Structure 1
């Protein structure tokens, strides 16, 4: 269950990062509200997941999930241009997140 909470929390990290960028320096109320709610859910979930997971692994997976989803969002919406190297590096992040989960199964 801790892994599921961690992955969902990482997804909410992506939500708050995107909302932060859309808040235009904390001047737009709706993105600010989305940012605050997503931040609370993301950090709360990370804290809960870290009860059962090692902090280094948990934090790395949380950041990796959030970073990967944020880049995917930017690519899909056209905010960033896609390239073969960017996609390959993104797949590397995803592979490392999966690898950390696999080697941590015994914990």
Structure 2
């Protein structure tokens, strides 16, 4: 169950970072509220996952899911640039997460 908590925490990290972008520096109420709720949920689920998962593993996977998800959302939703070096960097993050989970 802790892996489910960790995965959901990572997905909520993606939600709150997208909402933060859409809040326009916290000048828009609804995205700011979505961000706060998603952030609280993300941290809570991370804390639950860390009850039995090692600190380093949980934190790296949580931030990795958020980083790769934010990278993808930036390209799809906000027109961020897509270059070979950026894709390679994201692939290295995913590879590192996979190795860490397997070890």
TM-score range, shorter chain: over 0.9
- The residue correspondences of 1:25-104 to structure 2 (distance < 5 A) are 25-103=25-103
Segments of structure 1 that go 5 or more residues without pairing to the other structure are: none
Q: What is the count of residue pairs matched by the alignment?
A: 103
CA apart distance, 1:78 = 4.3
Alpha-carbon distance in 2 for matches of 1:7, 1:69: 12
Alpha-carbon distance in 2 for matches of 1:35, 1:91: 27
Alpha-carbon distance in 2 for matches of 1:14, 1:76: 13
CA apart distance, 1:79 = 2.7
Q: CA RMSD in A?
A: 1.0
Q: Give every structure 1 segment of 4 or more consecutive aligned residues whose post-TM-superposition deviation is greater than 3 Å.
A: none
User: So what's the TM-score if we normalise by structure 1?
Assistant: 0.90
Segments of structure 2 that go 5 or more residues without pairing to the other structure are: none
